[in-house]
């Protein structure tokens, strides 16, 4: 792979974990997966967002930071590159949409302290998938606490991603529209995504629609 540290991002149900896992397995990469299912606030948040948003976002931030600090500091000798299914900045993206202004300002202060100690990915691959397909993927993977996520929430998160990414000119961002692909069922779709990622891109956003 061309890049030493790849972060795969996208909305809930976009296929981040599946894609990162398959790339790591095929191309001898060190895989970092977000450990979110053990979060004690996640299911509660989907039942009462206003009450549990702040403890959820703080706990996610702490867990993500601790994992990335540990994994990125310990490079494996027999891996050719590192790929993760998230990057720390997603904490800001979700927090902006779930926290009130006072909570968000405190959250930013804590985030900046942690983020200063982590390396940035060489490329951020953002998987864009429409809400209808996201909901299809969410239903298929069958996590009970996700089954009642409304379309409006997914749209809000996607808008937050786009607004944030536009403000990151120093980050190399590949925005991949994969709405018409099924890289799980079709190996040629997976190979197309990998070949697209494995190109030389400038800093800022590069948009590519795959079909």
- Mean of pLDDT values over 159-175: 94
Q: What is the pTM of this model?
A: 0.91
State the pLDDT confidence band at 176, using cuts at 50, 70 and 90.
very high
- In angstroms, the Cα distances linking 45 to 26, 85, 102, 144, 205 are 36, 22, 19, 13, 32
Contact 128, 211 (CB under 8 A): no
Q: Are 134 and 149 within 8 A, CB to CB?
A: no
User: Among the options 38, 48, 80, 85, which is catalytic?
Assistant: 85
**Eight-state DSSP code of residue 211:** -
Considering the four listed CATH numbers 3.40.50.620, 3.30.930.10, 3.40.50.2300, 3.40.50.300, the one that applies to the domain covering 5-209 is 3.40.50.300
Residue 46: what pLDDT?
Answer: 84
Burial class (CB in 10 A: 0-12, 13-18, 19+), 8: buried
Domain ranges within the chain, ordered by starting residue: 5-209
Dump pLDDT digits (tens) for 68-123.
999 998 877 789 999 999 999 999 998 988 899 999 999 999 999 999 989 999 99
3-state secondary structure of 1: coil
- Percent above pLDDT 90 for the chain: 81
Residue 191 pLDDT exceeds 80? yes
Neighbouring C-beta atoms of residue 16, cutoff 10 Å: 23
Residue 73 CA to residue 65 CA, distance in Å, equals 12
**How do residues 115-141 score in pLDDT, each as one tens digit?**
998 999 999 999 999 999 999 999 998
What is the structure's pLDDT at 75? Answer: 74
> Can you list the alpha helix ranges (DSSP code H) found in the chain?
16-27, 42-47, 49-73, 90-98, 101-115, 131-141, 151-165, 187-197
Residue 1, pLDDT score = 93
Give the integer Cα–Cα distance in Å for 87 and 97. 17
Mean pLDDT of 46-50: 88
The answer to whether 8 and 20 have CB atoms below 8 angstroms apart is: yes
**What's the pLDDT tens digit per position in 2-17?**
999 999 999 999 999 9
Q: What is the pLDDT of residue 43?
A: 84
Residue in 46, 194, 73, 69 with CA at minimum distance from that of residue 123: 194
- Three-state DSSP string of 96-153: HHHCCHHHHHHHHHHHHHHHCCCCCCCEEEEEECCHHHHHHHHHHHCCHHHCCCCHHH
pLDDT tens digit string along 25-45? 999 999 999 987 678 898 898
CA-closest candidate to residue 1, choices 19, 20, 31, 23: 23
Active site includes 151? no
């Amino acid at each position: 792979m061309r890049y030493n540290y790849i972060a795969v991002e996208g909305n809930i149900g976009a296929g981040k974990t599946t894609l990162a896992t398959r790339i790591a397995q095929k191309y001898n990469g060190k895989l970092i997966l977000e450990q979110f299912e053990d979060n004690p606030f996640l299911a509660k948040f989907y039942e009462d967002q206003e009450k549990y948003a702040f403890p959820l976002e703080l706990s996610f931030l702490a867990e993500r930071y601790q994992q990335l600090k540990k994994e990125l500091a310990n490079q494996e000798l027999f891996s050719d590159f590192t790929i993760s299914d998230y990057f720390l900045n997603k904490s800001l993206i979700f927090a902006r949409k779930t926290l009130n202004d006072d909570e968000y300002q405190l959250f930013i202060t804590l985030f900046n302290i942690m983020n200063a100690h982590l390396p940035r990915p060489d490329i951020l691959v953002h998987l864009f998938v429409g809400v209808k397909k996201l909901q299809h993927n969410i239903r298929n993977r069958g996590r009970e606490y996700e089954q009642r996520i409304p379309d409006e929430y997914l749209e809000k998160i996607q808008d937050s991603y786009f607004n944030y990414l536009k403000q990151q000119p120093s980050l190399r961002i590949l925005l991949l529209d994969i709405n018409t692909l099924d890289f799980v069922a079709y190996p040629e779709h997976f190979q197309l995504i990998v070949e697209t990622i494995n190109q030389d891109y400038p800093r800022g956003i590069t948009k590519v629609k795959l079909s």
